[in-house]
Amino acid sequence: MTPATPRLHARTGLSVTALGLGCAQMGGLYRPTSLAEAAGAFRAAWERGIRYYDTAPFYGFTRSERRLGTLLTEEPRGEYVVSTKVGRVMVPDPSVGPMEEGYADPLPFRPTFDYSHDGVLRSFEASRQRLGILAPDILYVHDIGRFTHGDHHAHHWELLTTGGGFRALTRLREEGAVRAIGLGVNEWDVIAEAIRVADLDLCMLAGRYTLLEQDSLGLMDACARRGIGIAVAGAFNSGLLVGKATFNYAEAPPAIAARAQALRAACAEEGVPLEAAALQFPLRHPAALTVVTGARNAAQVEANAAWFAAPIPDGFWARLKARGLLADAAPV
């Protein structure tokens, strides 16, 4: 499989490439990203046949959507798939400063959570304007769940379910404004809750079905049975599987760091870069449609593409299982 391999989602008819480009770095996640770097990352992805691009209003406080839209609309509309997100309405605010919520140089639009019917529609309309794309293909509900909201989760969940948020997404799909709807989250439990109450097509799950952790296997299996696709993001677990010390956007706990080291050692014995195994593992599950990786510049895109296409020896995954480094039930 190559980064450009098309992957058809039968339920919606959408075809995405096996590797997608996540565009949080276009918004300056953790450090500034120049326009030239962002354009270089996009061009490198495009030249390697990558045709799925994911963004959100939150990334750079609208900067990512603006940049990605400018780049994408230079290309034929029928040749790419783009997703964005709802759940935050961006409100003009001159007090926004550097490094707010992880973005080095955010634009002066403050994210305000709003999962209501009208909030979803307002957010979507603003995203269409920023992207310059009338009908983005996929619309995710961004960061609903206890991981983000803690004690306030019940309030936001009520707005999404009984307050009309899901109804607004369904309306947009029925009207043809988007082709697929779902969640874009960092926790699998809330997807499990959502598919019980809403007719979702495709969800983005960050960091929860990876080489490092497979606690979400039950959800993944349920999605496969129902034809709900999963776009796997965060395959490096916030950098831990690419040589950094971070996990879930913070310093990795000792037990998690030790497991990552054990994976790296096992991969080294097989002559497989840990990064290659991390990018290729998720797509072995039938629910996984694409793996989406962030990249700040062309060099990072090229590295990700090379890892994704790197050869894996026969029996490699079974040997990881035998060492206890993969869940017994994980399809390999």
Task: State residue 245's pLDDT score.
Answer: 78
Alpha-carbon radius of gyration of the chain = 19
Task: State residue 280's pLDDT score.
Answer: 98
Distance set, CA 106 to CA 128, 219, 223 (Å): 20, 35, 35
Q: Answer whether 303's CB lies under 8 Å from 294's CB.
A: no
Task: State residue 246's pLDDT score.
Answer: 83
Task: State residue 279's pLDDT score.
Answer: 98
Q: How many other C-beta atoms are found inside a 10 Å radius of the C-beta of residue 116?
A: 19
pTM value?
Answer: 0.97
Q: Answer whether 198's CB lies under 8 Å from 165's CB.
A: no
To the query of whether residue 314 is one of the catalytic residues in this protein, the response is: no
Domain edges within the chain: 15-322
Task: State residue 150's pLDDT score.
Answer: 97
Secondary structure letter of residue 64 according to DSSP: H
Catalytic residue among 59, 103, 140, 209: 59
- What is 15-322's CATH superfamily? NADP-dependent oxidoreductase domain (3.20.20.100)
Question: How far does Cα 233 stand from its chain's mean position?
Answer: 4
Residue 325's DSSP bridge partners are none
H-helix or E-strand spanning residue 53: strand 52-54
Burial of 244 (0-12, 13-18, 19+ CB in 10 A): middle
Residue 290's DSSP bridge partners are 231
To the query of whether residue 140 is one of the catalytic residues in this protein, the response is: no
How long, in residues, is the chain? 332
Task: State residue 238's pLDDT score.
Answer: 87
Q: In this structure, which amino acid lies at residue 135?
A: A
Reading the block at residue 41, the tokens are 């990352």
Q: Answer whether 22's CB lies under 8 Å from 233's CB.
A: yes
Please list the rounded mean pLDDT of every run of 10 residues in the chain (332 residues). Answer: 97 98 97 98 98 98 98 98 98 98 97 98 98 98 96 98 98 98 98 98 98 97 98 95 85 93 96 98 98 98 98 96 96 94
To the query of whether residue 321 is one of the catalytic residues in this protein, the response is: no
Task: State residue 249's pLDDT score.
Answer: 80
Q: Please tell me the number of Cα atoms within 13 Å of 179 on its side-chain side.
A: 15
Q: Is 213 helix (H, G, I), strand (E, B) or coil?
A: coil
Catalytic residue among 52, 53, 80, 85: 85
Supply the DSSP string of 241-276, one letter for each residue: GGT-SEETTEEPPHHHHHHHHHHHHHHHHHT--HHH
Which of 82, 8, 14, 6 minimizes the C-alpha distance to 42?
82
Which of 20, 75, 98 minimizes the C-alpha distance to 53?
20
Q: In this structure, which amino acid lies at residue 117?
A: H
Strands (E), 76-124: 81-86, 88-92, 109-113
